[in-house]
Homo-oligomer: A and B are copies of this chain.
Amino acid sequence: MASETMKIGFKVWLENNGKAFGDGPYELLRRVKKEMSLRRASRQMGMSYSRAWCLIQTLEQRLGFALIERKVGGQSGGGSQVTPKGINLMNHYAQFRRDVKKGLEKIYRKHFSLWK
């Protein structure tokens, strides 16, 4: 085996009748939090606003709580912010994701590091 350059590849997500949260949604929320705008966040990720909005709706339904709240009006003309529960999920997910990476690399090494 070309084991010098071989590595593990993976994708991981939360599931509840379909994907409920994962790396893509995490990144989208991270940008919403920073930009205070779903429109800017989705544009940065090369998604249409309507697609991002629809994605958020789907995730919220599968998670059972709201991820984003819209602020209507005000000096800045409104915008979006991540809900406290959404931020809490982001924090949990980030730690979970780090543990997954570490855990999978360990399991990979156990089975394949010495394999020829």
Contact = CB atoms under 8 A, between A and B. Distances in A.
A9 B14 contact: yes
A113 to B, nearest CB: 11
A104 B100 contact: yes
A95 interface: yes
A6 interface: yes
Interface residues of A, number: 37
A89 B2 CA distance: 13
Interface of A: 1-2, 5-17, 19-20, 62-65, 89, 92-93, 95-96, 99-100, 103-104, 106-108, 110-112, 115
21 contacts: A1-B64, A1-B65, A1-B89, A2-B16, A6-B14, A7-B15, A8-B12, A8-B14, A9-B12, A9-B14, A10-B10, A10-B11, A10-B12, A92-B115, A93-B111, A95-B111, A96-B107, A96-B108, A99-B107, A103-B103, A103-B106
